[in-house]
Amino acid sequence: MTQPLAPLFIEPARLADTLRHTGQSAISPAGLGSLLGADVADLMALRPSWNDLPPDAYLRDGGRYRKRRHSCFVVTGEKVEQVPHRAHWQPVEYNALHGGLERWFEPMAPSVVAQPVWPQLLRRLAATCSALKGEQPWYVEAHQFRIDTTDGIGRPTPEGAHRDGVDFVVVALIDRSGVKGGETRVFDANGPSGTRFTMTEPWTMLMLDDERVIHETTPIQPLDASQPGGHRDTLVLTFRAGRFQGPAA
């Protein structure tokens, strides 16, 4: 079996500068802990909540491989406020498969949002956004995903290579068990250059400038065909200036 390519990690202090120059930055779990001023164990304490995600009822490819929860927040400086539960919506220009559809997912569990490391994660990432685009409120959508291989294959990005229609996107690997595939691919939105790698360590984080790059993750399959119950868990955070995306946006 070919050894998957590992991400090229940067020092957390270089996060904003690297995003400014390349449109993407990957940080190790220890680096993320350093960025937050938190222990990695605090982040690991969030992992069990991925075992309680409801099925995604909106998959238009007929699949049953995705489970998720979704909640929204506004970050203004050091203040993190969870907003009333709302639908997730994207225009068809950014999501040809599921765009134009109001999708109502179950919210994140209160026990997750109440962990001190959760608002700290949003604060520090929003501060990076502000370092690049000016101090302002950031409208954050948080998605907990589990992609499994119960039916033989799971598609982390069924819409294919895409942008999200926001300012910045963060993808953090939470868990990876019994699967192969799931390679992350990031391409220059206006040119041929790109990178690819596979996140394998829990709380490896990738941050993207959504205006400059497009991204996708390849399908996953069982590592052992006789044990099809593998999964790949991620946390996806999107940061948008001005307002949340919506039909009237």
Q: Answer yes or no: is pLDDT of 90 > 90.
A: no
Q: What is the mean pLDDT of residues 101-115?
A: 94
194 found inside a domain: yes
pLDDT at 98: 65
* pLDDT on residue 160: 83
Kindly state whether residue 227 falls inside one of the protein's structural domains: yes
Is 234 within 8 Å of 129 (Cβ atoms)? no
Q: Taking 60 as the threshold, does the pLDDT of residue 43 lie above it?
A: yes
What tokens appear for 237 in the block?
């955070």
Give the DSSP per-residue string, 151-194. Answer: TS-B-S-TT-SB--SSSEEEEEEEEEESEEE--EEEEETTSS-E
Task: Tell me the residue type at 219.
Answer: P
Distance CA(217)–CA(158), nearest Å, equals 9
User: pLDDT tens digits, residue range 148-200?
Assistant: 998 889 999 988 888 899 999 999 999 999 999 999 999 998 878 899 999 99
**pTM for this one?**
0.95
Residue 1 included in any domain = no
110: Cβ contacts below 8 Å, ≥ 6 apart: none
> Over 70: is that where the pLDDT of 94 sits?
no
Rg (CA), the chain: 17
Q: Is 224 among the domain residues? A: yes
Higher pLDDT, 228 or 55: 55
What local confidence, expressed as pLDDT, does residue 96 receive? 54
Decide: 213 and 186 in contact? Cβ < 8 Å: yes
Confidence (pLDDT) at 97: 58
From 59, 70, 57, 236, select the one nearest 155 (Cα to Cα): 59
What distance in Å separates the CA atoms of residue 88 and residue 68, rounded to the nearest whole number? 12
Total structural domains within the chain: 1
Q: What is the CATH number of the domain that holds 175?
A: 2.60.120.620
φ, ψ of residue 44 to 5 degrees: the values are -60, -25
pLDDT at 204 over 70: yes
Mean of the per-residue pLDDT values of the chain:
93
- Per DSSP, helices labelled H in 1-93 are 15-22, 29-36, 40-44
pLDDT value, residue 158: 87
Mean pLDDT of 214-222: 96
Kindly tell me if the per-residue pLDDT of 42 is higher than 90: yes
Q: Within a 10 A sphere around the Cβ of 111, how many other Cβ atoms? A: 11
* pLDDT score recorded for residue 100: 59
Domain for residue 248, yes or no?
Answer: no
Task: Let me know if residue 3 belongs to a domain.
Answer: no
Q: What is the mean pLDDT of residues 6-35?
A: 96
Q: Is residue 190 part of a domain?
A: yes
Cβ-based neighbours of 236, under 8 Å, separated by 6 or more: 142, 143, 145, 169, 170, 171, 172
Whether 19 maps to a domain, the answer reads: yes
Residue 176 is part of which domain span? 15-241
**Is the confidence at residue 1, as pLDDT, over 70?**
no
* Mean pLDDT computed over 97-126: 91
pLDDT band for 99, please (50, 70, 90 cuts): low
124, 42 contact by CB (below 8 A): no
Residue 110, CA atoms < 13 Å, CB-side half-sphere: 1
* Residue 229 binned pLDDT confidence (cut-offs 50, 70, 90): confident
Measured CA to CA, the distance from residue 79 to residue 73 in angstroms comes to 10
